[in-house]
Structure 1
């Protein structure tokens, strides 16, 4: 059975919007709901702030240039942790009777390294030791985070942790700007890029979960990601290159999962029909030489990326289109 799920973010600007998103996701995505994120509430609720809220053993603060590691947690870091706990309270309250699979999301080690600064400035990415320490702190935080989720929602028999890595392609290609904006950080060697992801994947597995990696950015090295032991890949189909198709085919043939982003994540000029979206997925599978019936249970249908930039009306429609397309398949 093909399932539908969301990438993570939903529109909104208040805690009430988050509570409504939880209710909506549980109602419209009953086969694979996810912990909604509402980054419109501010930097503490956005991807980097939420990732730092999960990290264990490191402190951070919000500076004019963005998030920075510090000796002690600043007010914004404490706010990020408080907001995460509050959001999980909401999920716990509304999902008490839920049974089945559930998904949560966390920023990956390379995306954090590319967006968080060292104590004295410039990105963590610029320092080999600092990026290793951040990745290991994230891995430990993921263990704690998943244990907390398992305690809160006891009916879940399959926790999926989606590791968001939109910056991974830029990291390995040496395209992340330096603090001045005039240069680029050196590319990270592929073995190191793989190792840091592996630490997080292993932490998910150690905590009894299943790790997927998501990116809706072009240039993501999917063959590298697939080799880290992840159980699933999640991508916008529009940005996959020819070589990526082989990687996704191999993942599906090996019994792992693929989440296919096919529904626009921002308001389109003309909304696609579920029949058109279904046909697109079927054509994609045919191009890969895969039998839809054989791999269907390993597929998930999603919007192309997070829905934070969509209008509330389109976000609702996009989720429903994903669910209808999955049922059609």
Structure 2
């Protein structure tokens, strides 16, 4: 059982965010991401910043792949370096870190090629850039271990795009750029390839986060170490989705988000696990994460991280 910060925090100061993470987290410390600083500071931008072979620039709809590094590319990389310098100054050496990245489906859906189409529309480019993401993440993890003297880096993969991909609702960049729906089977198999390769390079533990609505066939095929979801939201899932989660618990772990009262949250996790036919020991092995949308300031974020830590301790007994 452990508790970790989710990683997305409000505010503009990386130093203050690092201080909150250090003061309230338990176990692995999440490298903070501050999306309120702008489009070059969200999870997608932070991921693009360490893919050295993928120069990008900001276009009218978002990030666009370029032939060579642009000023925007250099700003992304400089911000990442400066942020890590500031975090290192706050933390010094620390043995366990948590790195949050955008997964391959979300990256390929959000970024355009310089011909005006999403990467996802080009199968060859999609394969190449997904491979770049594996290699770049592995290199980044190695650099983080050296910088912080860490022996473990947990990778928290964000894949908010998979639901729209499954539904076929991601728009193309023009009437001639149709993004076809992807089956949950294909989504899961490609995610599994990414996770397997990343594990082979780094031996990292992998959390997979697709938001509050599950896509259990995809998640079971992807086979991360833990699924990220809200235990409160899970009570509103359909029976098929709960059956999929029950199957998952036979061989995997769960990472639960939320900002509820610690006692209520611990009870919700315990009741859900028991309802699915598992013992209290399964609940006690859950990873607790705070809710990144629960706070508008760092003081509030500090409180919900502490609540996650307290819920973790309650489940441990």
Q: What TM-score does the superposition give when structure 2 sets the normalisation length?
A: 0.89
Deviations 1:258-293 (CA, angstroms, capped at 9, x unpaired) = 111122xxxxxxxx4222222211211121122122
| Equivalent pair of 1:7/1:302 in contact (CA under 8 Å) | yes
- Correspondence 1:268-307 to 2 at 5 A: 272-297=260-285, 299-304=286-291, 306-307=292-293
1:64 counterpart residue number = 60
Distance 1:145 1:247, change over 3 A: farther
Aligned partner of residue 30 in structure 2, secondary structure:
coil
- Verify: 1:148 aligned to 2:143, yes or no: yes
| Equivalent pair of 2:3/2:308 in contact (CA under 8 Å) | yes
- Verify: 1:327 aligned to 2:294, yes or no: no
- Correspondence 1:224-243 to 2 at 5 A: 224-240=218-234, 241=237, 242-243=239-240
1:116 counterpart residue number = 111
Q: Alignment length, in residue pairs?
A: 311
- Verify: 1:94 aligned to 2:90, yes or no: yes
Aligned partner of residue 143 in structure 2, secondary structure:
helix
| Equivalent pair of 1:234/1:258 in contact (CA under 8 Å) | yes
Distance across 2 between alignment mates of 1:109 and 1:293: 33
| Equivalent pair of 1:11/1:40 in contact (CA under 8 Å) | yes
Distance across 2 between alignment mates of 1:59 and 1:195: 27
Gaps of 5+ in 1: 264-271
Distance across 2 between alignment mates of 1:75 and 1:216: 33
Aligned partner of residue 258 in structure 2, secondary structure:
strand
2:301 counterpart residue number = 315
Aligned partner (choices 9, 15, 20) of residue 16 of structure 2: 20
**Superposition RMSD in Å:** 2.3
Distance 1:301 1:145, change over 3 A: same
2:72 counterpart residue number = 76
Deviation at 1:160, TM superposition (A): 0.8
**Greater Cα offset, 109-118 or 42-51:** 42-51
Deviation at 1:110, TM superposition (A): 0.6
Distance 1:191 1:209, change over 3 A: same
2:34 counterpart residue number = 38
Deviations 1:148-187 (CA, angstroms, capped at 9, x unpaired) = 1111122x33321111101111112211122248986211
Deviations 1:167-209 (CA, angstroms, capped at 9, x unpaired) = 1111122111222489862112445433432343134312231
| Equivalent pair of 2:62/2:111 in contact (CA under 8 Å) | yes
Aligned partner (choices 255, 265, 269) of residue 259 of structure 1: 255
Deviation at 1:71, TM superposition (A): 0.7
Distance across 1 between alignment mates of 2:32 and 2:42: 11
Q: What TM-score does the superposition give when structure 1 sets the normalisation length?
A: 0.86
Distance across 2 between alignment mates of 1:216 and 1:47: 14
Distance 1:246 1:90, change over 3 A: farther
Distance 1:171 1:294, change over 3 A: closer
